[in-house]
Amino acid sequence: MKRNILLVLVAAMLSRCTPATGEMDIFIKNGIVYDGIDSLPKLVSIGIKGDRIVYVGNQEKEDIPTRRTIDAQGLIVAPGFIDTHTHADVELGSPSESDNKPFLFQGITTVVVGNDGSSLFPISKYSKIYEDQGIGTNVIFLVGQGTIRERVMGKVDRKATPDEVLSMQDLVKQEMDAGAFGMSTGLFYAPGSYATTQEVISLAKVVSKNHGIYDTHLRDEGCYSIGLVAAVEEAVEIGEKANIPIHISHIKCLGREVWKRSDSIIKIVEEANKRGVEVTANQYPYEASATGLQAAVVPRWAESGGKDSLFIRYSDPNLKPRILEGTRQNIELRGGPEKLLIVNSEYEAYEGKTLGELSESMELNPNEAVFEILKKGYARVASFSIDPYDIENFMQQEWVVTGSDGNTGHPRKYGAFPRKYKKYVKGGTIKLSDFINRSTSKTAQILRIPDRGAIQVGNYADIIIFNPETFGDRADYQNPFQLSEGLEYSIINGKISVENGGYTEKLNGRILKKE
């Protein structure tokens, strides 16, 4: 009741808005509108013409000529979600998957690709492919530091020479000029991990000159190498020395040894922000992380040069015991073989089984089973190694936005945003307006995306309408490919992509390029 009075009040205040003029293409009325910025919802109507929002106010539809009216009675209207971290790169280029449905049905209207230091190269080529074929959501490119390093140096574990640094800087500049919004690193992964902090700073300086951002998968999210705290400090140092905003991807405390350390990480970030280093983060709302089995448990030194080199070393009786011991330790750091679930494998029989189960059926030790599995091809694992305390603690920070990290096999690809709503907004961890703000306008501000992320006159019309009762995820670890439910409408660049809960088969996304 109280809320209704509030809504009426806000509506009354807004009724003096500028009147709408001219015919509109779409008019959304009767919805509960969260504009992405204000903490209070408004009962306002929204007018769209072409690809832009041209009206926000209280006029009745009868006063305004409109081609199409959407009655959003009882539904929530919000800016389209912006997903800061995805692995949709390849799918967006594939004719059968370029609709980007797993993301679209979460209410996402813009995805970032090129995360974790790995990007399609060159961006100019792939943006042309996306453009020619059409894409279901907007897309933003980042240039991957690992990709650039591999092009210049291969997959080797050594310091870059000054000439190599220059070559890498040239390639970063080329990709920024092609429209990238920034550079990503995956300092946990080979070959990105072989770069020193100084090398990364040298490249970040080029990005900074182009007003881009620095997005990072930290060198260590647990205690695998330098430790989580030192890895966050490294990111802050890169921000300070390269004079660039830092965005930490999928912030978490990975592994029992670092559980409940979120408080100290939050402190480091807050202090950096006070000193004027802009540090933000994104997060997915799940207790399991997911990555390649090899990346998760095989020691980095052993895979220098790539997978073939790994297996050459593994067959060397002098090196094999060291590789197995390092692998054993990493399995323990992730909570043991029972906590590692194969969610995706080139050898399908492995899917849905834990490393513990597979090693038993192979009659091998878990560390040995890893190499049997890898011999059959790439395998991805979900690793149940994040504590709920840290998830909620990070989520409540105003500098932490939503990012799915969506990749095949983990339910987050189909469910991250709706799950955050269903579990953490409805569960009381965060407010609805904060969830929306940190999935839309705050994200646009971090990534420096102009004219998107808020329902405001003049902005692009990326708007979603969802049912507050039913909006939620359906994907889980057993069935990770279930589209989310409860999204009634998605409008992207002023065109309808989801209508009454169904896909319109229209590829309304655009490639957003940094000007």
Binding site for Zn ion (CB under 5 A): 116, 217
Q: Which amino acid is at 345?
A: S
Q: Among 93, 92, 89, which residue's Cα sits nearest to residue 101?
A: 92
Query: Quick one: 217 or 514, whose CB is closer to Zn ion?
Result: 217
Task: Return the axis-axis angle of helices 320-333 and 307-314, rounded to nearest 10°.
Answer: 120
Residue nearest to Zn ion (CB): 217
- Least distance in Å: CB of 313 to Zn ion? 25
CB under 8 A, 24+ apart: contacts of 361-369: 365/324, 365/328, 366/328, 366/331, 366/337, 367/297, 367/324, 367/325, 367/327, 367/328, 367/331, 368/324, 369/337
- Least distance in Å: CB of 249 to Zn ion? 5
Query: Quick one: 104 or 218, whose CB is closer to Zn ion?
Result: 218
- Least distance in Å: CB of 280 to Zn ion? 16
Query: Quick one: 217 or 247, whose CB is closer to Zn ion?
Result: 217
- Least distance in Å: CB of 216 to Zn ion? 9
Secondary structure element (H or E) that encloses residue 109, with its range? strand 108-113
Query: Quick one: 93 or 144, whose CB is closer to Zn ion?
Result: 144
Helix (H, G, I), strand (E, B), or coil: what is residue 112? strand
Contacts of residue 358, defined as CB under 8 A and 6 or more positions apart, other chains included, come to 342, 350, 369, 373
Beta sheet of 400-402, edge-to-edge order = 143-144, 182-186, 213-217, 246-248, 279-283, 400-402
- Least distance in Å: CB of 291 to Zn ion? 7
By the 8 A CB rule, do 334 and 228 touch? no
Query: Quick one: 207 or 218, whose CB is closer to Zn ion?
Result: 218
Query: Quick one: 116 or 473, whose CB is closer to Zn ion?
Result: 116
* Helices and strands in the chain, H and E counts: 18, 23
- Least distance in Å: CB of 184 to Zn ion? 9
Query: Quick one: 29 or 217, whose CB is closer to Zn ion?
Result: 217
Distance, in Å, from the CA atom of 32 to the CA atom of 415, rounded to the nearest integer, reads 23
Query: Quick one: 217 or 442, whose CB is closer to Zn ion?
Result: 217
Contacts of residue 24, defined as CB under 8 A and 6 or more positions apart, other chains included, come to 47, 48, 49, 54, 55, 64, 65, 66, 67
- Least distance in Å: CB of 186 to Zn ion? 6
Tokens 């430790």 correspond to 227
Distance, in Å, from the CA atom of 368 to the CA atom of 366, rounded to the nearest integer, reads 5
- Least distance in Å: CB of 177 to Zn ion? 25
Tokens (6 digits) for 426: 């409805």
- Least distance in Å: CB of 55 to Zn ion? 40
Query: Quick one: 252 or 452, whose CB is closer to Zn ion?
Result: 252
